[in-house]
Amino acid sequence: MQILVKFGALGAAVVFWATAAIAAPLTVKPDEAFREAFPQVPADSIKPTDIKGLFEVVSGTRILYYFQEKNYLFVGDIYQKGLKNLTAEKRAELEKKHAQAALEAAKKLPLEKAVKIGNGKKVIIEFTDPECPFCRNASAYLAKRTDVTRYVFFIVLADHPLAMAKIHYILGADDKAQAYEDMMAGKDLPKSAPVATEAVKGWAREDAALGEKVGIPATPTFFLNNQMVVGANIRQIEQLLKD
């Protein structure tokens, strides 16, 4: 059994998970104890902090803290005197490295396998989810521009039960760009929509695998002008298209 406990600190929510009442034997290595206690949490690295018995766990761009003696996992920021946020500093480093790695990976994407929309001179690579409201907002903005060519890949990172059916519909359509526009406009799947073929399902899985390989942190995510934009940040996209 796992217990979820929340409490406030410095105006921010702090969370910790505890595994039952069984303490982790200190003779076990911290990484082994952590993975046994929290197998559902991927860990890129586990290192000791300045606080005795407390370990920093890096999971993607997330930073967690593991207290091995009691098998506690803390989710929150650590502050130093003067309210210096040590966690935020480390997180900023991770996000910068992640963004740079994602940009390099995006340069190697097979654009011939994307859904192409438009014929403008400015290229945008897009990872999106047709059931994501933020994705739809960004798509509505980009649909008005005639100066861009969009290469669209699909990945589902949230609990959107209808998303995959809509992705299959888009990838299986004769006019994929129009099918994309219809789904991103919030239209329902046509009653006449064909059952997805194995080839279409395989295409959708390839898109998802590419998104994981690049390290897409959220939908929508865009790559343009050698920058990564996470979320429907219209102002940032507009500025990058001007540069």
Degrees to nearest 5, angle at CA 158 with 169 and 96: 115
* 9-22: average pLDDT: 49
* 59-69: average pLDDT: 92
Exposure letters 183-220 (e unless 16+ CB within 10 A, then b) = bbeeeeeeeeeeebeeebeebbeebbebbeebbbbbbb
Residue 22 confidence (pLDDT): 53
Distance CA 243, CA 233 (A): 16
Distance CA 125, CA 210 (A): 12
Model pLDDT for residues 135-160, shown as the tens digit of each residue: 999 999 999 999 999 999 999 999 99
Residue 21 confidence (pLDDT): 44
Give the pLDDT band (50/70/90) at residue 27.
Answer: confident
Distance CA 238, CA 169 (A): 30
20 within 8 A of 73, measured Cβ to Cβ: no
13 within 8 A of 33, measured Cβ to Cβ: no
Give the pLDDT band (50/70/90) at residue 16.
Answer: low
Which neighbouring-strand residues pair with 6? 15
Q: What is the pTM of this model?
A: 0.74
Tell me: pLDDT of 11 over 60. Answer: no
Among residues 158, 144, 143, which one has the least CA distance to residue 220?
158
Which residues of the chain form beta strands (DSSP E)? 2-9, 12-19, 45-48, 54-59, 62-67, 72-75, 79-80, 84-85, 115-117, 122-128, 148-154, 221-224, 227-230
Distance CA 191, CA 195 (A): 11
How high does pLDDT run on average in the chain? 89
Instruction: Classify residue 37 by burial, with Cβ atoms within 10 Å: 0-12, 13-18, 19+.
Output: buried
Distance CA 102, CA 94 (A): 12
CATH 3.10.450 fits 2-80, yes or no: yes
Residue 12 confidence (pLDDT): 45
Q: Where are the chain's structural domains?
A: 2-80, 105-242
Residue 61 confidence (pLDDT): 85
139 within 8 A of 145, measured Cβ to Cβ: no
Tell me: pLDDT of 131 over 80. Answer: yes
Tell me: pLDDT of 60 over 70. Answer: yes
State the architecture of 105-242 in CATH terms. Answer: 3-Layer(aba) Sandwich (3.40)
Give the pLDDT band (50/70/90) at residue 17.
Answer: low
Which residue bears the tokens 């390290």?
215
Distance CA 152, CA 44 (A): 29
